Amino acid sequence: MMNDNPLSEHPLKVNRRHFFSQLSVGIGSLALGSLLIPDLFTRSGPTQVSPAPGLPHFAPRAKRIIYLFQAGAPSQLETFDYKPTLLQRMGEDLPESVRQGQRLTGMTSEQERFPLMPAAVGFKQYGESGAWVSDYFPYLSKIVDDLCFVKSMHTEAINHDPAITFFQTGSQISGRPSMGSWMSYGLGNENKNLPSFVVLTSRGKGNSQGLYSKLWSSGFLDSKHQGVLLRSGHNPVLYLNNPDGVSRSDKRHMLDHVATLNELHQNATGDDEIESRIAQYEMAYRMQMSVPEVMDVTKEPEHIVKLYGEDCQVPGTYAANALQARRLAENGVRFIQLYHQGWDQHGNLPDEMAGQARDVDQASAALIIDLKQRGLLEDTLVIWGGEFGRTNYCQGNFDPKNYGRDHHPRAFSIWMAGGGVKPGITYGRTDEFGYNIEENPVHINDFHATLMYAMGLDHEKLTYKYQGRRFRLTDVAGNVIDDLLA
């Protein structure tokens, strides 16, 4: 007999594990008639990614992370690191005493002069915290008291590929697990109908650099911790949709037969993988409902659309992704990774910066406001930033209306919000040229250690042994920056 209830599962042999999963789905459907309910038995279902024993290491402040990655590296000097000296000394060469032999990329190594270039727009102080924000970001400037600025980030990498790989995996060399994979490995999944680590991408009009699946790869960790790319449009997860002419009840009927035959074979072979495969098919079946449901922003009320901006109704935009990030967070996804491409301003910076900022300003601020009004900000950690900074001298012709900035690994700015970090503070300081760090440097390893701490993980303890070595997200370094934590 065909089974038309889309929520029902294949009636497996009742065993203990299965009993749990049956029950939890039953409750979910009873309570809400929706698949988007974080599973009450987060550690029980066979399709579940459970945390490793003994985890988290201590009480977490944040349960999930939304990482708004600005790929290409936005300039700190046009965003949050205000440097009036650059205006005063505009056009002067960067003193060698400041540069201190910093290596140059091939883009500017042939350049004869390194003339200092101030920001094309003004800066003002906002909020009770008095944080400086450039005029490119009118929306973020209104919520600075919820943000925690770090102006003293630094890295060793000077080219995009190694730098972004470093940020995502703790190593410049390809092959290590992504941050989100570590979190999934350490903390498991809160929702059995969605993956624990998802990725959303968007692209601005600015000069952009590629993204690559290795950035959300689980490396040597089990592939179930791999980031799942959610795409805009009709097929948000690869191969999610049934072919035309096959309905959901047809699919249910097929899966029941697949399962029946699989069970026969399991009895004959004793292979436990078969039971696990049946469970994966059920998870896939549920994802066919839950993913489109969580991705569907068309039912969001008018005031929310207004908050994020009209773009949030246009699939594939940063604003749409930001809104989806909130929906994913609400549904217990552990690590939500956004990438917005287009921040590589080697030239034409003022124009491109304006466009990039327009793409992300309103929606980033809206996300914070929205999470806050739903009570989610307290256990959701939001991070905004790129892979390195940009030079304080101009690349190419010296033209204050149309200049560029090269890569600068020694100092750059990011901000964080929610999830146990101190709101309304600025941590770290660069020199008057915005070139070197003067106070409280934060290395990428420190940054990772701090994120992990907020999530209840000891970065030295969450290890995975591979090729004879215990690997960590923070490799062999990293200190938790207590001053960032509330």
Partner 1 sequence: MKQRIGIATILAGLGILMVGYLKVKREAPQSDLVQAPLPEVVDYNFHIKPILSDNCYTCHGPDANKRKAGLRLDMEEEALGELPENPGKFAIVPGKPARSLLHVRIHSRDENQVMPPPDSKLSLTWREKKLLEKWIEQGAEFERHWAFMPPEKAPLPTVTDTAFIQNEIDVFVLRKLEENGLQPSPRADLPTLYRRISLDLNGLPPSPDILKFADIPAERVGISDYIDSLMKLPAYGERMTQNWLDIARYADSHGYQDDSYRSMWPWRDWVIHAFNENMPYDEFLKWQLAGDLLPGANREQVLATGFNRNHPITQEGGVIQEEYQSAYVVDRTNTFGKAVLGVTLECAKCHDHKYDAISQKEYYQVYAFFNNVDEKGLQMDAVQAAQNHFFADPPFITITREETEKLLSIVNMEDTESVNVMVMNDSMPRQTYVLNRGNYDEPGDAVFPGTPEEILPFPDSLPKNRLGLARWTTDPANPLTARVFVNRIWALLFGQGLVRTPEDFGVQGSLPTHPELLDWLAADFVENGWDIRYLLKKIMLSATYQQQSRLTPELRQADPENLLLGRAGRFRLSGEMIRDYILATSGLLNRDIGGPSVKPYQPPGLWEETNAGGNRGILTKYEADSGEKLYRRSLYTFWKRTLPPPNMTIFDAPTRDFSEVRRQQTNTPLQALALQNDIQVLEASRVLAQRIIGSGQAEGTWVPEVFRTILMRHPSQGEREALGRFYRDMYQRYATRPEDADPLLQVGSYQLKDTDRARTAALMLTAQVIYNLAETITRE
The residues in 275-294 that bind partner 1, with binding defined as CB under 8 A, are 276-277, 280-281, 283-284, 287-288
Q: Which of residues 348-367 bind partner 1 (CB under 8 A)?
A: none
Q: How far is the CB of 233 from partner 1 (least distance, A)?
A: 8
Q: Indicate the residue among 304 and 354 with the shorter CB distance to partner 1.
A: 354
Q: Quote the CA–CA distance of 163 and 173 in Å, as a whole number.
A: 10
Whether 53 and 188 have beta carbons less than 8 Å apart is answered as: no
Binding mask 438-467 for partner 1 (x = CB under 8 A): ----------------------xx-----x
**Alpha-carbon span 418 to 381, nearest angstrom:** 5
Question: Of residues 14, 59, 96, 103, which one binds partner 1 by CB under 8 A?
Answer: 103
Asked whether position 41 contacts partner 1 by CB under 8 A, the answer is yes
Q: In this chain, which stretch among 221-229, 366-374, 384-392, 438-446 interacts with partner 1, using CB under 8 A?
A: 221-229
Task: State both tokens at 87.
Answer: 């205006």
Q: Which two tokens stand for residue 194?
A: 């969605």
404 binds partner 1 (CB under 8 A): no
Q: Is 429 in the site for partner 1 (CB under 8 A)?
A: no
Residues 6+ apart with CB under 8 A from 231: 237, 238
Judged by beta carbon, residue 250 or residue 438, the one nearer partner 1 is 250
- Cα angle 199, 181, 418 (rounded to 5 degrees) comes to 70
Nearer of residues 215 and 305 to partner 1, judged by Cβ: 215
Can you tell me the distance from the alpha carbon of 67 to that of 79, in angstroms, rounded to the nearest whole number? 18
Question: Contacting partner 1 (CB under 8 A), which of 34, 102, 111, 209?
Answer: 209
- Cβ closest to partner 1, residue 251 vs residue 429: 251
Residue 151: left (phi > 0), alpha (psi -120 to 50), or beta?
alpha
If binding is defined by CB under 8 A, does position 250 make contact with partner 1?
A: yes
**CB under 8 A: which stretch of 20-28, 144-152, 176-184, 417-425 binds partner 1?**
20-28
Q: Which stretch binds partner 1 (CB under 8 A): 47-55, 347-355, 416-424, 442-450?
A: 47-55
CA distance 1 to 193: 26
Beta bridge pairs of residue 469: 466
Among 7, 23, 369, 425, binds partner 1 (CB under 8 A): 23
Tell me if 211 contacts partner 1 by CB under 8 A. yes
Smallest CA-to-CA distance from 44 within 16, 14, 20 is with 20
For partner 1, the closer CB: 62 or 237: 237
Q: Which stretch binds partner 1 (CB under 8 A): 133-141, 224-232, 325-333, 424-432?
A: 224-232
Residue whose pair of structure tokens reads 């964080």 in the numeric block: 416
**Could you say which of 96, 97, 268, 298 contacts partner 1 (CB under 8 A)?**
268
Three-class DSSP category at 250: helix
Q: Which stretch binds partner 1 (CB under 8 A): 23-31, 114-122, 303-311, 418-426?
A: 23-31
Question: Rule CB under 8 A: is residue 210 a binding residue for partner 1?
Answer: yes
Q: For residues 156-185, which are near partner 1 according to CB under 8 A? A: 158-161, 174-175
Report the nearest approach of partner 1 to the CB of residue 467 (Å): 5
Any contact of residue 54 with partner 1 (CB under 8 A)? yes
Nearest alpha carbon to residue 202 among 61, 41, 360: 360
Buried b vs exposed e over 192-224: b needs ≥16 C-beta within 10 Å? bbbbbbbbbbbbbebbbbebeebbbbbbebeeb
Answer for the pair 47, 279: CB distance below 8 angstroms, yes or no.
Answer: yes
Q: 20 or 139, CB closer to partner 1?
A: 20
Torsion sign, CA atoms 178, 179, 185, 190:
negative
**Cα dist from 374 to 143, 305, 369, 378, 408, whole Å:** 16, 15, 9, 10, 38
Among 96, 112, 128, 272, binds partner 1 (CB under 8 A): 272
